[in-house]
């Protein structure tokens, strides 16, 4: 498992996912959940640069442990987030949720360290499986339906990626996962790019995200908001730096996300649209593709995972305590949930890019890099999105959740929030502040160190500019606070088209295909069955005279296998997925040790 | 008022005490005062690296923040949302 002090973090998470269901039920097992993230933190900071863990499979070399500066910085923040996320979810007794989270995080680390497309694809699908369960295990009709849509959509995204990978292999005879030049890109590269863009929630492929994340479990969505889109950002940064289309797509995402967040009523849906928006900054940075914006994308991914995890923890804590995440049903809670409010505000000011908080040192790097390399409209679009971010996540959400112009709501019964949830929030809040005050603890891990020295966030002008931008967008909110007040509504998004396409596919299967299937059944009944019956009579004679004497017992075995098969084929997607994951892990183990 | 017997922490007491009319007025004054201060500071502190041309003029980011904020909220709530708004259970998922 370890070669020359290298340790693969996924191994720890996978092992815990496998043994957890067999641990006795006295709840002491919960403390063991913290071991994989601690091992991952150690590995992320200490794994040596280089290629580790090569595996021969089907004549291919799978590279499972590719470590360089880019994968290291993502691995660090993934490890820290997995620790905070598991602490936040320690009170959960449902082992299924923990197993799903462990598998999901294992998939994330696997993608980060994959040196070839085949390993990447395998871990990519593991993430998709784990996250589907994190939505489904919320165990409401709404969540189960959302989980099905989520899984269907990510399967299509995964197939785009697989098609691209296989086509690319035909063209280049290699599964190597590295930078692809935008000049001379083939259809295979575009397919891979579109598979990545599904997970990065690039508009218009983004609508799965605000559909699924608000419906996940309180703790599951904390994991999901951190890993899926940022894994996609990582693979885009590795394979597609400098693809100009990404600069445009990222800017559109940044603005589109804040527009939808401004009209939403559901707290976690607002935060979900802000993932689209914030990932837009990273995608734009990758698209511009100069050293400063690539640094900016990685730095922003790091900062974003910390503050977005904290935002989802805060909104999740409100949902946990009150039972609702609809802003029109909340308000007057500041004195009832004071520490949730404080931790939420740390994250809200971080995402808004307020000085002293980590968004200030990461967001500005991408914007400055874009402006200085001539991407005027991209930089301006990102500044525009910053205004919308502060208004919707920094002001609207906390104002209507904690105040809303209402007196303190002493009557509302609140479910007490367990101490571990506060602990998870405190860890992330401290890190958001620490990175904002001492940017060096983030910058020192960036890939292009020479570009780091060209950028200084803490200049007096940068501080004054941020305070003016945010202060006066705050004034705009104050003036229009009655206009922006949220109401119950569903705002149509691109998932309208996904559903339409889904219905058309279903119609095609139900009508024309079923018609041909009926004709075939008739033909078969008329011709095929007669031939079969005649053959049957012949074999019957043979069977009675010969076979029964020899292998009578085998019939009973076949019957038993058939019954087992019927048990497995019960139409329950969650059991199919669980079985598929189990078989995949068994095959991996066999390949590993043989 | 909090229910009798509820033991409030210092932060809860502090926050609950801010909701009187007098305190709200005070906080409003603090907010407007801070806005005036940062706008005034942007006139004093020069921008050595204007990125967009217009941002070399004083108060550019002040006007940008206010103008974009107002325009964005009004566009979203008054123009876009009325067109795309449906009932909460439009898809029958709830």
Rounded distance between C-alpha atoms, residue A184 and residue A396, angstroms: 46
B69 with A476: Cβ contact below 8 A: yes
The candidate with the shortest Cα–Cα distance to A189, out of A165, A173, A172, is: A165
The per-residue pLDDT for A433 is: 97
Residue A461's CB is within 10 A of a number of other CB atoms, namely 16
Which of A286, A312, A313, A280 is CA-nearest to residue A298? A286
- The three-point CA angle A307-A311-A313 to 5° equals 115
Q: Chain B partners of A477 at a C-beta cutoff of 8 Å?
A: 69, 73
- Whether the predicted pLDDT of B24 surpasses 50: yes
Task: Give yes or no for B20 touching A (CB within 8 A).
Answer: no
Write the CA distances from A70 to A49, A113, A178, A282, B22, integer angstroms.
10, 10, 12, 14, 53
The pLDDT value given to residue A3: 52
Q: What is the pLDDT of residue A552?
A: 63
Give Cβ neighbours of residue A444 (< 8 Å, ≥ 6 apart).
Answer: A452
pLDDT along chain A (594 residues), means of 10: 76 95 86 95 94 84 92 96 97 94 96 94 94 94 94 94 94 91 91 96 94 95 95 96 95 96 95 96 96 95 96 96 94 94 96 94 93 92 95 95 91 94 97 96 93 89 93 96 93 93 88 85 86 87 73 69 75 75 77 68
Spatial distance between the Cα atoms of A31 and A42, rounded to a whole number of angstroms: 18
- Nearest Cα residue in chain B from A479: B70
Q: Is B11 on the interface with A (CB under 8 A)?
A: yes
Interface test with B, best of A419, A469, A493 (most B CBs within 10 A): A469
Neighbours of B59 (CB within 10 A): 14
Q: What stretch of H or E contains B85? A: strand B85-86
What is the spatial distance between Cα A149 and Cα A212, in angstroms, rounded to a whole number? 8
Q: From the centroid of its chain, how far is CA A577?
A: 18
Determine the Cα–Cα distance for residues A452 and A38; give it in Å rounded to an integer. 29
Q: Do the Cβ atoms of A402 and A321 come closer than 8 Å?
A: no
Q: Does B62 touch chain A (CB under 8 A)?
A: yes
Give residue B46's pLDDT. 79
CA atoms within 13 A on the CB side of A262: 34
Instruction: Give the ranges where A375-418 is alpha helix by DSSP (H).
Output: 376-389, 397-398
The answer to whether A380 contacts B52, with C-beta atoms less than 8 Å apart, is yes
Q: How far apart are the first and last CA of chain B?
A: 36
B47/A391 touch (CB, cutoff 8 Å), yes or no = no
* pLDDT value, residue A569: 72
Number of C-beta neighbours around residue A274 at 10 A: 29
Instruction: Kindly compute the dihedral angle of the four CA atoms of residues A336, A337, A339, A341, in this order, to the nearest 10 degrees.
Output: -110
What sign does the CA torsion over A428, A432, A438, A444 have?
positive
Q: What is the C-alpha to C-alpha distance for residues A109 and A198, in angstroms, rounded to an integer?
A: 19
Determine the residue among B40, B48, B72, B77 to mutate to test chain A binding: the one whose Cβ has the most chain A Cβ atoms within 10 Å.
B72
Strand, helix or coil for residue A54: strand
Measured between beta carbons, which residues in chain B are less than 8 angstroms from residue A334? 15-16
Query: Which pLDDT score, from 0 to 100, does residue A1 have?
Result: 46
B2–A410 CB contact, under 8 Å: yes
Q: What's the pLDDT score for residue B8?
A: 80
């Amino acid at each position: 498992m370890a070669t020359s002090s290298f340790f693969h973090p996924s191994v720890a998470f996978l092992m815990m996912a496998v043994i957890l269901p067999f641990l006795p039920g006295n709840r002491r097992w919960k403390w063991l959940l913290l071991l994989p993230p601690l091992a991952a933190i150690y590995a992320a900071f200490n794994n040596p640069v280089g290629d580790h863990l090569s595996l021969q499979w089907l004549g291919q070399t799978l590279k499972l442990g590719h470590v360089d500066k880019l994968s290291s910085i993502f691995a660090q923040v993934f490890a820290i987030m997995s620790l905070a996320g598991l602490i936040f979810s320690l009170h959960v007794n449902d082992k299924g949720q923990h197993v799903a989270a462990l598998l999901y995080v294992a998939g994330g680390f696997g993608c980060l360290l994959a040196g070839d497309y085949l390993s990447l694809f395998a871990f990519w699908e593991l993430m998709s499986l784990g996250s589907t369960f994190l939505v489904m295990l919320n165990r409401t009709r709404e969540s189960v339906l959302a989980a099905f849509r989520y899984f269907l959509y990510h399967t299509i995204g995964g197939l785009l990626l697989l098609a691209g990978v296989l086509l690319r292999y035909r063209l280049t005879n290699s599964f190597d996962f590295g930078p692809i030049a935008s000049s001379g890109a083939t259809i295979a590269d575009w397919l891979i790019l579109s598979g990545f863009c599904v997970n990065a929630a690039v508009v218009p492929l983004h609508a799965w995200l605000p559909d699924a994340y608000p419906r996940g479990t309180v703790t599951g969505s904390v994991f999901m908001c951190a890993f899926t889109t940022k894994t996609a950002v990582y693979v885009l940064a590795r394979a597609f730096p400098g693809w100009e289309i990404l600069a445009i797509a990222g800017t559109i995402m940044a603005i589109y996300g804040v527009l939808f967040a401004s009209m939403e009523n559901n707290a976690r849906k607002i935060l979900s649209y802000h993932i689209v928006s914030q990932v837009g900054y990273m995608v734009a940075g990758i698209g511009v593709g100069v050293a400063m914006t690539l640094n900016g994308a990685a730095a922003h991914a790091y900062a974003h995972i910390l503050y977005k995890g904290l935002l989802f923890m805060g909104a999740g804590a409100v949902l946990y305590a009150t039972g609702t995440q609809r802003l029109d049903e909340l308000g007057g809670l500041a004195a009832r949930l004071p520490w949730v409010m404080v931790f939420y505000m740390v994250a809200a000011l971080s995402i808004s890019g307020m000085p002293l908080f980590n968004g200030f040192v990461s967001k500005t790097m991408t914007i400055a890099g874009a402006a200085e390399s001539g991407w005027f409209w991209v930089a301006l679009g990102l500044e525009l999105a910053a205004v919308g971010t502060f208004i919707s996540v920094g002001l609207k959400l906390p104002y209507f959740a904690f105040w809303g112009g209402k007196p303190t709501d002493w009557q509302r019964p609140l479910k007490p929030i367990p101490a571990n949830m506060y602990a998870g929030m405190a860890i992330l809040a401290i890190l958001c502040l620490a990175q904002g005050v001492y940017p060096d603890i983030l910058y020192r891990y960036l890939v292009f160190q020479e570009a780091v020295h060209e950028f200084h966030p803490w200049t007096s002008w940068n501080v004054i500019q941020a305070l003016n931008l945010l202060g006066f967008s705050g004034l705009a909110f104050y003036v229009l606070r009655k206009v922006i007040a949220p109401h119950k509504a569903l705002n149509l998004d691109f998932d309208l088209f996904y559903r339409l396409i889904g219905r058309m596919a279903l119609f095609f299967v139900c009508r024309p295909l079923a018609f041909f299937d009926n004709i075939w059944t008739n033909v078969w009944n008329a011709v095929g069955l007669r031939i079969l019956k005649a053959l049957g009579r012949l074999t019957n004679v043979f069977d009675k005279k010969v076979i029964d004497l020899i292998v009578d017992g085998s019939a009973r075995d076949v019957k038993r296998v058939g019954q087992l098969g019927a048990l497995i084929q019960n139409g329950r997607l969650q059991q199919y997925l669980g079985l598929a994951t189990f078989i995949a892990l068994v095959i991996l183990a066999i390949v590993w040790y043989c | 008022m909090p229910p009798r017997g509820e033991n409030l922490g210092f932060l809860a007491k502090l926050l609950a005490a801010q909701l009187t009319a007098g305190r709200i007025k005070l906080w409003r004054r603090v907010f407007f005062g801070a806005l005036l201060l940062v706008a005034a500071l942007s006139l004093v502190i020069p921008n050595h690296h204007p990125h967009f041309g217009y941002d070399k003029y004083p108060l550019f980011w002040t006007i940008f923040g206010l103008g974009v904020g107002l325009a964005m909220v009004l566009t979203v709530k008054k123009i876009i949302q009325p067109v795309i708004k449906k009932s909460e259970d439009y898809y029958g998922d709830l």
